[in-house]
Chain A
Amino acid sequence: MVTGLINANPVVYERKERHLRSSPVVIDEYAVEPIDQLEIFEHVRDIKDPEHPYSLEELKVVTEDSIELDDQQSYVRVTFTPTVEHCSMATVIGLCLRVKLMRSLPSRYKVDIRVAPGTHATEAAVNKQLNDKERVAAALENPRLLEMVDECLAATYI
């Protein structure tokens, strides 16, 4: 067990100002509003980093632009940038992203999570694990890991 933090002094960025969305002029109760990039970002921006009391947005681990989606195809890809190249928390962060989106998006959605290319020493290995749903399912049956993930997600449900 590593006693010191992997990245003791992360760079902390300001949070982007949040604007209230303007309501549509015509309200059709039955219309399904398409999901957009900002909505996905709103689901994940406040996820707490596993090691520091800052959100993934504040640490620029995820940005609005790091989210690619096609609502028509029910597809989203989130690219995240760990704060350091050898971050061993990369899989935990990826897992948090996956779990939050799984709980927040309609079940028709296909989600891909990946590390920003060139930002992690074992990029391919991390990506492979995060996108193997059997490995993810088994990991989430581990109570300690699930607890860690839920702690990181706690701030996002407020």
Chain B
Amino acid sequence: MDGKLELRETQKLEGHSDRVWSLAWNPVTGTGGVPAMLASCSGDKTVRIWQQGSSKSFDCTAVLEETHTRTVRSCAWSPSGKLLATASFDATTGIWQQIGSDFECVATLEGHENEVKSVAWNASGSLIATCGRDKSVWIWEMQSGNEFECISVLQGHAQDVKMVQWHPFADVLVSVSYDNSIKVWVEDGDDDWHCAQSLGESGSGHTSTVWALSFSECGNRMVTCSDDLTLKIWDTSGNPSQTSGDGYAPWQHICTLSGCHDRTIFSVSWSSEGVIASGAGDDALRLFVENKDNVVDGPSYSMLLKKDKAHAMDVNSVQWNPKDPQVLASASDDGSVKIWELVGVSQ
């Protein structure tokens, strides 16, 4: 590409009456004639569904309310796009299904002692993971008729667990925490889940709260972001659940991006084209890519661009559109969601 790259704001979605904590693109929309759809969740206790119309702009087509009694912190679509899970400070996780033009809460997952902070579906949609301030990670299995059964409660983190994410194709779960560590959980067979690896301060890990993580498309790398103002890239040489000795291929630290952020980094997202986006407490968005040439001391990454004042307040969540790797959505304390397009600008 000859020209410079620029992150251009294409739309600002307003409607929430409190900060927007998180957002999620519906994975089966935005392609094959199906308009793109995304969900955003807020301190106003609701979830809003936004759909791209014929004019290419997004409209709010549903508001999921009167269910959660406190902040909705995180939301995640099932891989089929048919169900939406919502994690709330009210200690429950809601499961919603689209009925016509509206959404109905078809199940409520209870068990956490206090605020649930994150929810994620595995690649096949058979499992859901949740985590929260009670320091635990719960794994739920979907039964017939939208019923969910808790199959494991994972203890191990010493503090508040901020986020859980499943590997893009293997049933490997990663959690990040206020205890500064990253933990990898695998199953032994027979619902026996355990912590296979813990990436802490001593092993090139973060030195403060780890807020989020994102896997690369093929799943051999992941990026984590922290209150310690760095992004860390981790690599696993093979299929992370392949049997080799103890049946687990460990993650290794390969790169730390420091000096690029001066406030807490709340969110990261890795696009299918290999661009890492970060959202931070200085209201800015930053993009990073791997340096492909002159790789002497191993893989390295550098900042591609910085979008100052992307929002009027902290950026809490960034998510690349899985169907269009040039499109990025961001959510902020300012109560808005913004849609961006990565474009080349000829000089």
Interfacial residues, chain A to chain B (CB-CB below 8 A): 107-108, 110, 128, 131-135, 137-138, 141
Nearest A residue to B90 via CB reads: A141
Q: Mark B303-323, 1 if CB is under 8 A from A, else 0.
A: 000000000111000000000
Report whether A133 and B312 are in contact in the complex, using a CB–CB cutoff of 8 Å.
Answer: no
B178 touches which one: A107, A110, A132, A137 (CB < 8 A)?
A: A132
Report whether B263 and A141 are in contact in the complex, using a CB–CB cutoff of 8 Å.
Answer: no
The total of chain B residues at the interface (CB under 8 A) is 24
Report whether B209 and A137 are in contact in the complex, using a CB–CB cutoff of 8 Å.
Answer: no
A138-B115 in contact given A107-B334, A110-B263 (Cβ < 8 Å): yes
Q: Measured between C-beta atoms, what is the minimum distance from B214 to chain A in Å?
A: 18
Report whether B71 and A137 are in contact in the complex, using a CB–CB cutoff of 8 Å.
Answer: yes
Given contacts A110-B282, A137-B89, A141-B71, 6 further A-B contacts (CB under 8 A): A108-B313, A128-B209, A132-B209, A134-B162, A137-B19, A137-B43
The answer to whether B135 has its CB under 8 Å from any CB of chain A is no
Residues of A within 8 A of B162 (CB): 134
Residues of B within 8 A of A131 (CB): 227
Question: Top 9 nearest A-B pairs by Cβ distance?
Answer: A138-B115, A138-B89, A141-B70, A107-B313, A141-B89, A132-B209, A107-B312, A141-B71, A137-B71
Report whether A138 and B312 are in contact in the complex, using a CB–CB cutoff of 8 Å.
Answer: no
Q: Measured between C-beta atoms, what is the minimum distance from A77 to chain B in Å?
A: 13
B residues 129-154 in Cβ contact with A at 8 Å: 133
A138-B178 in contact given A107-B334, A110-B281 (Cβ < 8 Å): no
Q: Mark B158-173, 1 if CB is under 8 A from A, else 0.
A: 0010100000000000
Residues of A within 8 A of B227 (CB): 131-132
